[in-house]
Amino acid sequence: MNEQLNWWRGGVIYQIYPRSYADANGDGIGDLQGIMNKLDYIASLNVDAIWLSPFFTSPMKDFGYDVADYCDVDPMFGNLADFKQLVDKAHGLGLKVIIDQVYSHCSDQHAWFVESRQDKTNPKADWYVWADAKPDGTPPNNWLSLFGGPAWHWDSKRSQYYMHNFLDSQPDLNFHHPEVQDAVLETARFWLDIGVDGFRLDVVNMFFHDAELKDNPVVSAPEQLFVGIDPSFPFCRQYHINQMCRDDNLAFLKRFRAVLDEYPGTTTIGEIGAPDGMTFMAQYTADGDKLHMAYTFELLAAQHDVAYIRDTISRVENKLTDGWPCFSLSNHDVVRSATRWASEETDPNSYIKAALALLLTLRGSPCLYQGEELGLPEGEVDFEHLQDPFGLEFWPEYKGRDGCRTPMPWDSSKHAGFTTGDTPWLPVDPQHIAMSAAVQEQSAASTLQFTRSLLRWRKDQPALHGGDFDWIDSDPNVLVFVRTVPTQRLVIAINLTDQSHGLEISGTPLAIAGFDASSNDSIGPYQVKAWTRS
Is-contact 304 341, C-beta < 8 A?
yes
Please provide the DSSP assignment of 80-99 as one string.
Answer: HHHHHHHHHHHHHTT-EEEE
H or E segment at 178? helix 178-194
Is-contact 332 342, C-beta < 8 A?
no
Q: Is 3 designated active site?
A: no
Among 14, 33, 15, residue whose Cα is nearest residue 419 = 33
Compute how many other C-beta atoms are within 10 angstroms of the C-beta atom of residue 213.
17
State how far the alpha carbon of 383 is from the alpha carbons of 79, 380, 388, 393, in Å: 32, 10, 10, 11
How many whole angstroms separate alpha carbon 46 and alpha carbon 139?
51
How many whole angstroms separate alpha carbon 29 and alpha carbon 423?
9
CA dihedral 104, 254, 274, 238 (to 10 degrees): 70
Q: Is 397 designated active site?
A: no
Annotated catalytic residue, options 23, 202, 317, 388: 202
Among 147, 158, 80, 152, residue whose Cα is nearest residue 116 = 158
- The residue ranges of DSSP E strands in 339-393, in sequence order, are 365-369
Compute how many other C-beta atoms are within 10 angstroms of the C-beta atom of residue 102.
24
Among 109, 231, 227, residue whose Cα is nearest residue 170 = 109
Output phi, psi for 527, to 5 deg.
-100, 160
Annotated catalytic residue, options 262, 289, 311, 470: 262
Compute how many other C-beta atoms are within 10 angstroms of the C-beta atom of residue 300.
20
Sign (positive or negative) of CA dihedral 421, 424, 429, 432? negative
Sign (positive or negative) of CA dihedral 141, 147, 148, 149? negative
Beta bridge partners of 172: 105
Q: Which residues of 488-510 are buried (b: 16+ CB within 10 A; e: fewer)?
A: bbbbbbbbbbeebbebebeeeeb
State how far the alpha carbon of 159 is from the alpha carbons of 129, 154, 293, 312, 477, in Å: 13, 7, 41, 46, 60
State how far the alpha carbon of 158 is from the alpha carbons of 20, 122, 214, 498, in Å: 39, 11, 22, 61
Among 129, 115, 117, 128, residue whose Cα is nearest residue 155 = 117
Is-contact 58 71, C-beta < 8 A?
no
Three-state SS sequence of 105-126: ECCCCCHHHHHHCCCCCCCCCC
Indicate which residues carry an active-site annotation.
Answer: 202, 262
